[in-house]
Structure 1
Amino acid sequence: MSWATTQSVTSPRHSSKVTTKVKAGARKVETILIRRIPVNLLVFEVGHFWVEFLHEDEAEIDEPMQAIRQQGLKEKDIVDEKGEPLQISTKANGFRESYGWYPAGMPFQPLNIFNDKRVISSDGTLNGDHEKRRKKDNNKKLTELTPTQDRQAGRKTNHNEHSSRAFDPHQNGHFHEGKIKFTTSPYVLPGDSRTDEEIFNEIRAYVAAFDSEGEEWSWANDSYKETNCHTLLFLLLAHCNLADPECIGIELDRHFIRYKASLDKQTNGTNDEKLMERILLIKKLLNISKNAKAE
């Protein structure tokens, strides 16, 4: 069997660890980036996991946005009193299409300990696109309407007031690569003939459905009980048959390892359909990620 040798795009301190041989016929989907900022409680870094799509036209700017930036308008200046956009973007305007899962509001809920709910939890929202998070951006007097700035709220729908594409707030990390700790691209297995655009559409459909189901955002130290940004990432990769041999396949993702171990302890006697679905999807993701590697 022949194979290709691949190396993921990572920070320098990781690059020597992630050279991986993959099976002949396994195709790297180079137009998709899996972005990881792992939780690091020692430096109070909450972390975030998300996916980005690379489009050749993402740097194009439409005329209304050019005028808005020239005038120095702020977030609050481009929506009406109800928060509805005053203009709709027809080009990407520099914002990279991307998807991740966020808490809608303050996730620390100490009173939840008395009602059998997770102490760190909140309503969840795709790309942080929620009224509470938008309000924080509106209140920032220095917010610049460019894709390079830190934001609380991204947008979950296309043709919003900032961009023709949905985007995760962390997409600005590609302008500041030091912020992103670990990046890989997924692979499709031999025999998978899907185009990149077909894969994009499958991911878009999955995250939209996930958002519509009213899932919470929660953190429980990688417990099976939680639902957060890395949960969504793992589930969408498995659902869309995308392998991650350069990270999950060689056991570099400690969140995945701990989350799967917690799920595996629940396999006996559970009648929870959602939990069983997650157990199967996470098992599938590990299998396809290992199968993408050369033997």
Structure 2
Amino acid sequence: MDFWITGEGVTQAASLASYTAIHFPRQLSRVRLKRIPFWGKGIAHQGGAIREKSPGHYWVEIAHDDPKIKESYGWYPAADIAGMESKLDQLSAMWDVEGCINGDSPTRRKADIGKREDEDKMAGRGIGNKPYPYDPNHGNPKVRSIQPLYLGLTDQRAETAVIDEIRAFAAAYKKQSGGRWSYRLDSFGEANCHTFIWRMLHDCQLIDLELLNADIDPHFDKLRGLVLKEAAKGAVFGGPGVIVATTTSTARRLIKPDYVDQLVAHTTMTRDELKRRNWL
């Protein structure tokens, strides 16, 4: 049943606003999803395909009235994998290492000692940091994609309540994820900055309209059900764990968690509704 406020003293504008609030997706004003994809096929404002020299990253930023206040959340390996001298160690670590919010680990903090404020630091500040935790990529000008997040149809939560849910999700994520970080050839069994964001979207009931846009990041092909050939991936990457991977990662790749289909459905429904109303 439609909930449309009418009656004596109610203007047409107020009546329409009440209907819109109930039946239309609502964009959050303070929350932004940010991405530096390792590989992008067609990001228009960057001139098309691009490959980053350093590992990509996804994180969520929360804006405050004071622009000097940082608050953001992302999932990192506790060790600096890119800084390891041995390629063998790098490959082994990519398969499974300790993870942490915002790169806030003793190893990364130690590496920041002596660096100037204008230098890139490896560690942000994790859960419990005052006034807020923040990702080391917070405000990074190299960001390739900045997306507002939406609340779905009929979702009447206040933005402050949504932000509190994001904070609670991040605070609980180490326990929820088992405290591990991994990249497993784009399988569903991995746990990294991509899956951190996808779980956040699901658990906090948020919608990213670009979730299925593989031009931003081919990782999205996984969510769209487009599966890369395991044999080809294994031949390229090799390294420790690949023998095990040949028997296990195919299953991890194909068995989608429940949240994947829900994310795809909510994104598709929201985009369709916005297009139908010429809001997109």
TM-score class, shorter: 0.5 to 0.7
Pairs within 5 Å for 1:226-245: 226-245=190-209
Look up the SS of the partner of 1:170 in the other structure. Answer: coil
Deviation at 1:240, TM superposition (A): 1.0
TM-score normalized by the length of structure 2: 0.67
Hey, what does 1:34 align to over in structure 2?
A: 33
State how far apart, in whole Å, the 2-side matches of 1:33 and 1:207 are. Answer: 15
Judging changes above 3 Å, is the alpha-carbon distance between structure 1 residues 260 and 231 closer, same or farther for their aligned structure 2 residues?
farther
Pairs within 5 Å for 1:1-295: 25-40=24-39, 42-57=51-66, 59=67, 94-107=68-81, 110=88, 119-140=94-115, 143-144=116-117, 149-158=119-128, 160=129, 163-173=130-140, 176=141, 179-213=142-176, 214-245=178-209, 247-252=210-215, 253-258=217-222, 261=225, 279-293=257-271, 294=273, 295=276
Identity of aligned residues (%): 31
Gaps of 5+ in 1: 1-22, 60-93
CA contact (8 A) 1:223 1:259 kept: no
TM-score normalized by the length of structure 1: 0.64
Offset from partner CA, 1:186-214 (integer Å, 9 cap, x none): 11112111011111111111111112343
Offset from partner CA, 1:89-139 (integer Å, 9 cap, x none): xxxxx24200000010143783798xxx77543200001111000001114
State how far apart, in whole Å, the 1-side matches of 2:139 and 2:148 are. Answer: 18
Q: What amino acid is the match of 2:270?
A: A
Aligned residue pairs: how many? Answer: 215
Deviation at 1:24, TM superposition (A): 6.0
State how far apart, in whole Å, the 1-side matches of 2:204 and 2:268 are. Answer: 16
State how far apart, in whole Å, the 2-side matches of 1:262 and 1:251 are. Answer: 10
Look up the SS of the partner of 1:244 in the other structure. Answer: coil
Deviation at 1:261, TM superposition (A): 3.3
State how far apart, in whole Å, the 1-side matches of 2:145 and 2:201 are. Answer: 16
State how far apart, in whole Å, the 2-side matches of 1:289 and 1:230 are. Answer: 16
Judging changes above 3 Å, is the alpha-carbon distance between structure 1 residues 42 and 33 closer, same or farther for their aligned structure 2 residues?
closer
Gaps of 5+ in 2: 1-21, 40-49, 230-247
Judging changes above 3 Å, is the alpha-carbon distance between structure 1 residues 217 and 277 closer, same or farther for their aligned structure 2 residues?
same
Q: What amino acid is the match of 1:172?
A: G
State the superposition RMSD in angstroms: 3.2
